[in-house]
């Protein structure tokens, strides 16, 4: 069927005869859609107050024009624990340091997968997937853990942000141009049956080139540094010539391996109470794979709530752009009146949105508070990394109903988990296709 003139006439008549649509047109033509459709009564009744807020909160961070949310969320969690240990008022970890090695490791991970798939045609779905977006800024919890285990951590003062770490578009573009060239070369070498040792030498030279590019863009990661600060009582602390690994061993009061990634993915191919991974998802070749335990939402929320009630902040991944007002920092399913103004419904369920490309995880943040009424959460407090000008000084409000629909992943410490969940996490995971929604990077 094609669009006919008769159909167009019918469409125009429908619009012209609809008073609500004509009113909406008058508003939408001149004003931001989200401001026009805002349910202002709902907005006015949204309060940035919570019955439980974790202790030792610090000022909001800012990832600027970069996709480092997953690194910021994880580092913001750890800085709270470090702050409690040393009674520090304000402190940040270096996400630039982690980004440097994440880019390097992702490139190595990409080149290894290019070699593995060299026998496939260039337009195979696997190869096209690998070439599409191999070194974006995003990541997953296990990828953060891999970086910390291999490269350690350091204060932001030891490796501060650069212009490129805060504005990554051009840097990523140049890196991508280079590694796609490398991919072509490696596929050619593999198809020519060059010796494995020769291909390894060629790849090492490629990594030398991108390492130099990263040093140019992000600076040279220090092998040791001094960490000095005053605590809240004015006491001076000084730690001289420590390495990134020593910083983790001596100053981070938690073992990152003790966290388990739980997801809520109600798709047909991901039954609950099963463990999953995703093909081609990762950064460090020899590191741990991304491993998810899929649970019903009521279990996910119960464990998240238990963590917050014990003063433990929670790293989480969600689809932040849905039913969300950036400036006001509100995530609420009833925030907008799109259905009324556009005279149509948006009825897809969480499962249907995932299975039809309407939703996936796009952003990671930190849960650091919750409002509980009659033993049930009604809203959640979110620490973002977009600076203090959004929400209430950078902190957001998420309704409990929004949590149900658009939160996909949380990282929970093992001490809050049932034995059955811990055993599930140890199982050999089912591998999902690379393009599965659970392969999305925050």
Chain Cα centroid distance, residue 50:
24
Query: Which 8-state DSSP code applies to residue 294?
Result: E
- What SS3 class is residue 244? helix
The residue to which tokens 């009604």 are assigned = 378
DSSP 322: S
Phi-psi category of residue 345: left, alpha or beta, with phi > 0 → left and psi -120 to 50 → alpha: beta
- Report the C-alpha gap between 94 and 74 in whole angstroms: 11
Whether 376 contacts 353, CB under 8 Å: no
| Distance set, CA 210 to CA 46, 186, 276 (Å) | 48, 15, 32
**Close Cβ partners of 96 (under 8 Å, ≥ 6 residues apart):** 156, 159, 160, 161, 162, 165, 218, 219
Q: Exactly one of 363, 368, 413, 436 is catalytic; name it.
A: 363
Retrieve residue 175's tokens.
Answer: 């890196």
Yes or no: say if 414 and 257 are a contact pair by the CB < 8 Å rule.
no
* 318 carries an active-site annotation: no
Of 288, 302, 316, the closest CA to residue 426 belongs to 288
Catalytic residue of the set 56, 384, 413, 436? 384
Active site residue 146: no
Active site residues: 69, 363, 384
């Amino acid at each position: 069927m094609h669009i006919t003139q008769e159909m167009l006439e019918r469409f125009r008549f429908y619009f012209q005869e609809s008073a609500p649509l004509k009113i909406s047109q008058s508003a939408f033509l001149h004003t931001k859609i989200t401001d026009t459709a805002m349910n202002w009564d709902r907005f006015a009744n949204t309060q940035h107050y919570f019955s439980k807020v974790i202790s030792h909160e610090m000022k909001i961070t800012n990832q600027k024009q970069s996709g480092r949310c997953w690194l910021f969320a994880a580092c913001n969690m750890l800085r709270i624990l470090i702050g409690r240990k040393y009674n520090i008022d304000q402190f940040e970890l270096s996400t630039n340091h982690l980004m440097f090695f994440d880019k390097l490791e992702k490139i190595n991970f990409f080149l290894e997968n290019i070699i593995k798939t060299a026998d496939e045609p260039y337009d195979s779905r696997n190869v096209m997937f690998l070439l599409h977006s191999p070194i974006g800024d995003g990541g997953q919890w296990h990828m953060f853990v891999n970086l910390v285990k291999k490269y350690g951590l350091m204060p932001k003062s030891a490796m501060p942000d650069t212009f490129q770490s805060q504005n990554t578009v051009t840097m990523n573009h140049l890196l991508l141009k280079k590694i796609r060239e490398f991919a072509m070369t490696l596929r050619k070498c593999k198809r020519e049956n060059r010796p494995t040792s020769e291909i390894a030498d060629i790849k090492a030279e490629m990594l030398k080139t991108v390492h130099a590019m990263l040093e140019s863009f992000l600076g040279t990661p220090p092998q040791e540094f001094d960490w000095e600060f005053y605590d809240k009582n004015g006491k001076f602390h000084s730690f001289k010539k420590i390495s990134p690994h020593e910083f983790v061993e001596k100053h981070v009061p938690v073992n990152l391996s003790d966290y388990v990634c739980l997801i809520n993915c109600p798709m047909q191919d991901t039954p609950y109470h099963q463990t999953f991974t995703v093909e081609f998802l990762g950064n460090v070749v020899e590191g741990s794979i991304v491993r998810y335990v899929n649970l019903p939402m009521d279990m996910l929320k119960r464990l998240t709530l238990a963590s917050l009630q014990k003063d433990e902040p929670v790293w989480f991944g969600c689809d932040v752009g849905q039913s969300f007002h950036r400036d006001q920092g509100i995530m609420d399913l009833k925030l907008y009146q799109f259905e009324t103004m556009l005279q149509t419904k948006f009825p897809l369920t969480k499962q249907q949105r995932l299975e039809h490309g309407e939703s996936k995880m796009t952003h990671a943040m930190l849960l650091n508070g919750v409002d509980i009424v009659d033993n049930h959460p009604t809203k959640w407090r979110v620490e973002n990394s977009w600076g203090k000008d959004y929400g209430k000084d950078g902190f957001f409000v998420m309704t409990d109903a929004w949590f149900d629909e658009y939160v996909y992943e949380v990282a929970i410490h093992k001490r809050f988990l049932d034995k059955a969940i811990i055993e599930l996490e140890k199982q050999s995971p089912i591998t999902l296709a690379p393009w599965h929604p659970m392969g999305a990077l925050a």
